């Protein structure tokens, strides 16, 4: 279980997170929604330790993440980045098996390659892709490789940062289905940030809405459409009019 | 404008410069400390060695041959004023090995390598590849900076040695073909007057310049701003900082090596 209490983060005078309180149960899929610039990515990076929060506490199974041993802590996580963040100079299979080729989880090269090809197959990519470079793949294929890399070491917790951004609706649907299947199959805890309401409905068990650096609403996805919260209603229906100010 | 404003601006600039020097010093110390601590990344080191050393050979060689030739012409013209044309071979050799080989080699490598390292690492930062490294339990400084800094520190002295040889050969070519030196005499004069420390000091300078070049490339790349403009600025800063530091380090090393 991941628990955040009173998490704050500022960049200069810009207060991005203003006291986040959120609880994410193990083996569940939490989707965090919210407008651009509301601090969703910063929140994920705070949990991962990529950005140090200014205040508050983040606990993973009761342990303060800032005191955890870094390598062992990070080994529990997988992350799919918005732009996939594949390493250009490495073959696709080396990207997928990155963690398995070095560090504490190092395996023999042949075994790591075999696992990478199996993970590529899991995300719908054939073995012929393994020896290509990321630049030779389409955006959708890169996302799938990023997903394969995120699950390669079978992490307990997987983060998805805007998994469908920049993809056509069909490919977005494929990625959403893959995420849902993989999370269920692996019994992992998933945290996704997205603007894409189709993704929310496909992926989420629970939803949290971030607004002005605070959790505005949280609840099961089944209650998303019925909640009376005007902020949530404006956001999920994409209305220009409402309490959330839209710059024009 | 307040009369104190220029002083305040000067103070801000000085504090900014000191802070930057401090950050670079801490970065350098972190890189050096990681040189001796596992994990090591031999594949990244070999890649960097090829990129920095092998692929810089043509540009360093071309720079050296033209510099050696021009140096021979200049020394001959200058020496003719006091009937000292015969010093051409020895001065070309000493000039190339002590100064021009390492400095011009270092500057050419700075232009080619510091820019490419800064652009590559800056782009990795902008596209979240550096964050991805962290989430994959890999220290970006250790994975990206340490192999490049080590490779440059080892490769640039070799480039300098090759550049010295090609530069001296350039001087010999001009001396024999344009200035009517006897080939055997030219070579004998070069060998007789050249001392081991002339070459050795240039190689030590080369190692220092290689360290500076890769350090600046990595530092500016890892501190790159956002977007294409941020990467462009990081690249420019890396080349400028590396070039200036090479010239400053060259002066300091020359003071240390050649003044008693």
pLDDT digits (tens, 9 = 90+) for B17-57: 999 999 999 999 999 999 998 889 999 999 999 999 999 99
Task: State yes or no: cis peptide before B39, omega within 30 of 0.
Answer: yes
Are B209 and B106 contacting, i.e. CB atoms less than 8 angstroms apart? Answer: yes
Domain boundaries, chain A: 2-237
Neighbours of B125 (CB within 10 A): 22
- The tokens for B258 are 């050649």
The pLDDT of residue B260: 64
Q: Which has the closest alpha carbon to A60: A138, A121, A2, A143?
A: A2
pLDDT digits (tens, 9 = 90+) for B167-224: 999 999 999 999 999 999 999 999 998 999 999 999 999 999 999 999 999 999 999 9
Residue B78 pairs in a beta bridge with none
Question: How many Å lie between the alpha carbon of A188 and the closest alpha carbon of chain B?
Answer: 16
Fill in the DSSP letter of residue A63: E
Are B198 and B98 contacting, i.e. CB atoms less than 8 angstroms apart? Answer: yes
Residues of B at the A interface (Cβ-Cβ below 8 Å)? Answer: 39, 41, 47, 124, 127-129, 131-132, 134-138
The Cα B252–Cα A177 span in angstroms is 63
Nearest CA in chain B to A50: B131
Q: Which has the closest alpha carbon to A5: A60, A48, A45?
A: A60
pLDDT digits (tens, 9 = 90+) for A49-82: 888 899 999 998 888 888 878 888 888 899 999 8
CB contact under 8 A, B136 and A86: no
Question: What ipTM is given for this predicted complex?
Answer: 0.86
Domain boundaries, chain B: 1-37, 41-258
Nearest CA in chain A to B130: A85
Q: Which numeric CATH code is attached to A2-237?
A: 3.40.50.300
pLDDT of residue A103 exceeding 80, the answer is: no
Label residues B35-59 b or e (16+ Cβ within 10 Å = b). eeeeebbeebbeebbebbbeebeeb
Bridge pairing between strands A55-60 and A206-211: unpaired
Nearest to A103 among B124, B131, B138 (CB): B138
CB-based contacts of B77: which residues, under 8 Å, 6+ apart?
A: none
Q: What is the pTM of this model?
A: 0.87
Are B182 and B81 contacting, i.e. CB atoms less than 8 angstroms apart? Answer: no
Phi-psi label, residue A204: left if phi above 0, alpha if psi -120 to 50, beta otherwise: beta
Nearest to A48 among B124, B135, B138 (CB): B135
- Spell out which residues of chain B touch residue A74, defining contact as CB-CB under 8 Å: 134-137
pLDDT of residue A247 exceeding 70, the answer is: no
Residue A157 pairs in a beta bridge with A77, A189
């Amino acid at each position: 279980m991941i628990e955040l209490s009173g998490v704050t983060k500022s960049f200069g005078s810009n207060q991005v997170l203003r006291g986040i309180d959120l609880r994410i149960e193990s083996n569940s899929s939490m989707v965090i929604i919210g407008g651009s610039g509301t601090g969703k990515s910063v929140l994920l990076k705070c949990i991962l330790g990529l950005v140090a929060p200014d205040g508050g506490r983040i606990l993973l199974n009761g342990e303060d993440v800032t005191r955890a041993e870094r390598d062992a802590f990070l080994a529990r996580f997988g992350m799919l980045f918005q732009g996939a963040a594949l390493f250009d100079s490495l073959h696709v299979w080396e990207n997928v098996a990155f963690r398995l080729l070095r560090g504490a989880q190092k395996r023999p090269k042949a075994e790591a390659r075999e696992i990478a090809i199996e993970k590529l197959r899991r995300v719908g990519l054939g073995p012929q892709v393994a020896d290509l470079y990321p630049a030779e793949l389409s955006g959708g294929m890169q996302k799938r490789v990023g997903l394969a890399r995120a699950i390669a070491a079978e992490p307990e917790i997987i983060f998805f940062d805007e998994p469908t951004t920049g993809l056509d609706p069909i490919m977005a649907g494929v990625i959403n289905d893959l995420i849902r299947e993989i999370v269920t199959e692996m019994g992992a805890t998933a945290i996704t940030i997205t603007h894409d309401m189709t993704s929310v409905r496909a992926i989420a068990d629970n939803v949290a809405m971030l607004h002005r650096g605070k959790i505005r609403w949280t609840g099961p996805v089944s209650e998303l459409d019925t909640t009376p919260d005007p902020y949530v209603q404006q956001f999920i229906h994409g209305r220009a009019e409402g309490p959330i100010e839209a710059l024009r | 404008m307040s009369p104190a404003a220029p002083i305040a601006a000067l103070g801000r600039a000085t504090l900014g410069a000191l802070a930057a020097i401090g950050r670079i010093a801490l970065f350098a110390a972190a890189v050096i400390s990681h040189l001796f601590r596992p994990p090591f990344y031999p594949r990244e080191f070999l890649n960097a060695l090829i990129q920095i050393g092998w692929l810089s050979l043509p540009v360093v060689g071309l720079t050296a041959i033209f510099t050696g030739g021009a140096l021979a012409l200049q020394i001959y013209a200058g020496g003719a004023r006091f009937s000292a044309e015969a010093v051409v071979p020895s001065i070309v050799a000493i000039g190339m090995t002590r100064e021009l080989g390492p400095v011009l080699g270092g500057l050419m490598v700075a232009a080619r390598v510091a820019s490419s390292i800064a652009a590559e690492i800056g782009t990795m930062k902008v596209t979240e590849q550096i964050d991805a490294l962290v989430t994959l339990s890999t220290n970006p400084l250790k994975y990206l900076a340490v192999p490049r800094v080590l490779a440059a520190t080892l490769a640039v002295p070799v480039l300098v040695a090759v550049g010295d040889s090609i530069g001296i050969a350039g001087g010999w070519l001009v001396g024999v073909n344009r200035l009517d030196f006897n080939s055997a005499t030219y070579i004998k004069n070069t060998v007789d007057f050249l001392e081991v420390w002339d070459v050795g000091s240039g190689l030590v300078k080369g190692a220092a310049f290689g360290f500076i070049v890769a350090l600046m490339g990595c530092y500016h790349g890892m501190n790159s701003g956002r977007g294409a403009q941020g990467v462009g600025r990081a690249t420019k800063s890396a080349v400028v900082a590396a070039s200036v530091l090479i010239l400053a380090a060259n002066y300091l090393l020359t003071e240390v090596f050649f003044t008693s």
